[in-house]
Chains A and B, each alone.
Chain A
Amino acid sequence: MSDEDDIETPVLTEATSILEDGNCEPAKNPESVDQSAKPESKSEPVASTRKRPESKPSSDLETSEVLPVQASQAAGKETVSKDVPQSGWGYWGSWGKSLLSSASATVATVGQGISNVIEKAETSLGIPSPSEISTEVQYATGETHAKENETSSPMTGPFGVFSTISTAVQSTGKSVISGGLDALEFIGKKTMDVIAEGDPGFKRTKGLMNRSSTLSQVLREAKEKEELWTSNEVTMETDKKTHYGLLFDEFQGLSHLEALEMLSRESEIKVKSILNSLSGEELETLKQELEQLKEAFSLAEFCEEEEEEKKGDEDFTKEITELFSQLNVSSKPEKLARARNTAYEWIRTSLSKPLEEKEEGEKQLEAEKTAHINKNSIEDIHAFAIRSLAELTAYSIELFHKTAALVLHGRKQEVTAVERSRTLSQMTVMLCKELSSLSKEFTTCLTTAGVKEKADVLNPLITAVFLEASNSASYIQDAFQLLLPVLEISLIENRTELPEA
């Protein structure tokens, strides 16, 4: 316990790469418990309780000092946390671990990367840490390693409901992380101000975002905390209705993602074996061609300023349809466009009412009442927002999956793989932007409908919407990255007669 700073990294490495024996877990747990019982953050007891309700073992103890209350909370939590970490999701983490056998070599390092990054930021900013991640990874690995080798996955616990993100992290590695976070930041940067306004604790995170790629972590943690914090007031029903992950799955987003992963994986294997069968100049030429594809997949366009005028329904439909026709696959984005337009339609009707009422009763107390009479309560708006985001994302991923299937089955192609990649890249950017502006619309709705609500009621909802929007963007970008091997194999097969895999 003496060298906290160094613990995280070695621990992770050890946990993921070495372990064949069970020693790791016992070693870690005591440590974790100790840590959690140790004091933590110095100021703002209230805020930090909220921010970090499930404080768990962390390695950033240097900054820590904690009120007894919090410490005992933390300790109490620890007893639950192993099986039952945050918000009900993590619980399942332990369940599936033994079933899952997946890649963790990459995962662990990625997780580690995140932890380190955040940790660094934390020590300077005093922001709650990603301790859950590291600990969970430890747990997970500890639990799984006995059964599986180092390729087993610890991903379930730490990311909980977001584990699909981690899935993609696994599959696409660094590029997704950085690429994904660009998008997250893209979505987040304009909106963090809004969140921060009523939430002093949140404000501190702003600096962090600009400096490092941890927005998703920040949002995620914030949301988890909000969830926990509000859990007592929220009925189970409401709660469930607004679970992005559940809804995403309901729209078969996860299934399509999984199917896409399968296609991606097969393609990747093929590409590798083809590359292995080549040598010399031939190999170099092909590599160069593949490099072009990779460039198209780098999503550079996210760097552009995103100031664009809001698109009308027709524009979106037209644009996405156009992009699809450029792909030259027989798939059509109708479902997606319809879902998107429905969402906007809902927003329009939802916004029109409260606005009028607001004008009339602005100065009067009556306005407060009308807010409650409004057709859509903030909970309704929130629920619909989450649902829409999940739906749009699921359909986007379905489209990517279908595109992959169609690209793979196609024999002759009029469109080159590079052209397709560029189009898909554009489409990804467009979809993410769309999600971003949609989430802004929804939060406008929330703000309008909830003018009289207390900040601590309204803000969690707003946070959740932004979080899920960034979550959505990650899913979409992950799915996009999964298309790379598919297009690679398409490119290869479209070239002349190369030896088949």
Chain B
Amino acid sequence: MYPSASVDSGPSRFIYIHLYPLHQIILKQISDIISSHRATMATAPYNYSYIFKYIIIGDMGVGKSCLLHQFTEKKFMADCPHTIGVEFGTRIIEVSGQKIKLQIWDTAGQERFRAVTRSYYRGAAGALMVYDITRRSTYNHLSSWLTDARNLTNPNTVIILIGNKADLEAQRDVTYEEAKQFAEENGLLFLEASAKTGENVEDAFLEAAKKIYQNIQDGSLDLNAAESGVQHKPSAPQGGRLTSEPQPQREGCGC
């Protein structure tokens, strides 16, 4: 019934994986529209032009999941369970008037998951590399995280270094200056943030997005490259007006 070729699964079998499957993009877009619809019927649903994939990496307990939670929910999650493999968060932000959807992969920090989480880097447009300013060991491991990030993502992936737990000034174990210097030496963006107070959390995600957007604008990030980690929807005819599209189509087809 099926041509025998259909069983064949060459290397091509999984090639698509590192990109967001199209439907996912669509679904995400529309689901955002829906949620906004639900929130306020009157408000025009939002739309976005890009999707950026982010990964958050760093040692266990540095607060990766808390940063994500603070960013997406604007709340501090005091009791955060260990992440198994990876968890997800999404939020739409705006950069230079463009709505951008961040799809954030929050990876497990436990060493034992390292081999597993390495699989998730692919196709990331941005990487948040997090350490805990009160624990020097988490800072010392950065070079290993950085190596992974460099090796497993594309050269244009924007990496931002984040010193978390900035609210715990009294227990500081890593100075701002040395981290800043490390970041500069390695061409990383850098911020100290606090998932607890929310300080700089927003900025951390935004700064990376700005940089990515800038890379798109100046052409250094090729959106057609397989692993750019960025999805653009160039064919949306009305630019910003995604919402109205599905309907007319349906009507068009239905008549």
Contact = CB atoms under 8 A, between A and B. Distances in A.
A89 B27 CA distance: 9
A331 B17 contact: no
A266 to B, nearest CB: 5
A409 B113 contact: yes
Interface in A397-415: 401-402, 404-406, 408-409, 411
Given A95-B235, A174-B2, A105 B253 contact: no
A163 interface: yes
Interface stretch (B140-148, B153-161, B241-249): B241-249
B26 interface: yes
A164 interface: yes
Contacts of A227: 250
Contacts of B20: 258
B103 interface: yes
Given A92-B25, A102-B19, A110-B6, A228 B116 contact: no
Given A156-B22, A252-B88, A101 B15 contact: yes
A255 B28 CA distance: 10
A259 B14 CA distance: 12
B233 A103 contact: no
Contact of A100 (B21, B34, B88): B21
Given A110-B6, A240-B33, A248-B27, A88 B250 contact: yes
A269 B190 CA distance: 36
Interface string A282-312: 0000000000000000000000000000000
Contacts of B28: 249
Nearest to B237: A83
Interface in A64-82: 73, 76-77, 80-81
Given A96-B25, A156-B22, A228-B250, A266 B37 contact: no
A387 to B, nearest CB: 11
> Secondary structure at chain A's binding surface: helix, strand, loop or mixed?
helix
A243 interface: yes
Given A96-B25, A101-B16, A163-B22, A212 B1 contact: yes
A261 B17 contact: yes
Contacts of A81: 253
B40 interface: no
Contacts of A160: 23
Nearest to A402: B84
A232 B113 CA distance: 50
A87 interface: yes
Contacts of B24: 164, 249, 254-255, 258
A101 B19 contact: yes
Most buried by B among A77, A102, A164, A252: A102
B23 A99 contact: no
B69 interface: no
Interface string B198-231: 0000000000000000000000000110100001
Contacts of B115: 408-409
B10 A105 contact: yes
A419 to B, nearest CB: 21
A217 to B, nearest CB: 13
B37 A237 contact: yes
Given A99-B224, A163-B23, A331-B84, A263 B250 contact: no
Given A105-B10, A237-B37, A262 B122 contact: yes
Contacts of A401: 85
A77 B14 CA distance: 34
Contacts of B252: 77, 80, 84
A106 B6 contact: yes
A163 B253 contact: no
A109 interface: yes
B14 A228 contact: no
A228 B17 CA distance: 31
Contact of B84 (A240, A265, A406): A406
Given A229-B254, A246-B34, 8 more contacts: A96-B233, A100-B19, A106-B10, A109-B5, A162-B23, A232-B254, A249-B24, A409-B115
Interface of B: 1-3, 5-10, 12-28, 30-31, 33-35, 37, 41, 84-86, 88, 103, 105, 108, 112-113, 115-116, 119-120, 122, 223-224, 226, 231-236, 245-247, 249-255
20 contacts: A92-B233, A93-B22, A100-B21, A101-B15, A106-B8, A106-B10, A112-B3, A116-B1, A156-B21, A167-B21, A175-B7, A231-B254, A232-B254, A243-B30, A243-B34, A252-B88, A254-B21, A262-B119, A263-B85, A265-B17
